[in-house]
Amino acid sequence: MEAIPQTETTKIADSSYGTGKRKTSIARLWLRKGSGSFKVNGKFMQEYFTRESYKLDILKPLEVAEMQGQLDFNCTVQGGGLSGQVGAIRHALSKAIDALHPSKRKSLRQNGLLTRDSRIVERKKYGKRKARKSTQFSKR
C-alpha cells in the first residue's frame, strides 16, 4: 500500500470538531461549511448571548481567519457563567477552524486564539474565609 501524499489539491473535509475550555466551562463545537448559522445549546446565538460584546468575542476567530458567513456551527456548552462560556466557545471555534483549514493556524496562533486560558478560581484554604482572605485580627 502506498500513502497518498498531502498536497494543496487534496480535498479538505467539509466538517470538523473542536473542544474548548475556560474557567469551569466546557464547549463542544461542530463546524461545517454553510451560510453562517450559529446555534448554542439548541438556540440561535442572538437568543443565548444578548450582550453584543459576547457575540463579537465569539466571532473573532472567524474574523481573523477571514471566513465570516462561510461556516455553520452547532455548539453545546456547559458549566460556568456566560463569560466563561464565551471563552470556551471561542477556544473551541478556533480549534475547529484549525482542524478544517491548517493554513489558518499561523494567524489564529498570532492572535492568541489557540492558547487555552488556564486561569481558574483558586481553592479555599482551611482556616481562611476564602482562598486568601483571613479573619480580622484582634489584639485583645
pLDDT of residue 7: 47
**pTM for the model:** 0.84
pLDDT of residue 1: 52
Q: Are 18 and 99 in contact, with CB atoms under 8 Å apart?
A: yes
Cell output for 127: 482556616
pLDDT of residue 36: 87
Q: What is the dihedral sign for C-alpha 68, 11, 115, 89?
A: positive
pLDDT per residue of the chain (140 residues) written in tens, 0 to 9: 555 555 444 455 788 999 999 999 999 999 998 888 999 999 999 999 999 999 999 999 999 999 988 899 999 999 999 999 999 999 999 999 999 999 999 999 999 999 999 999 999 999 999 999 999 999 98
Neighbours of 79 (CB within 10 A): 14
Give me the CATH code for the 15-110 domain, please: 3.30.230.10
Residue matched to cell numbers 462560556: 85
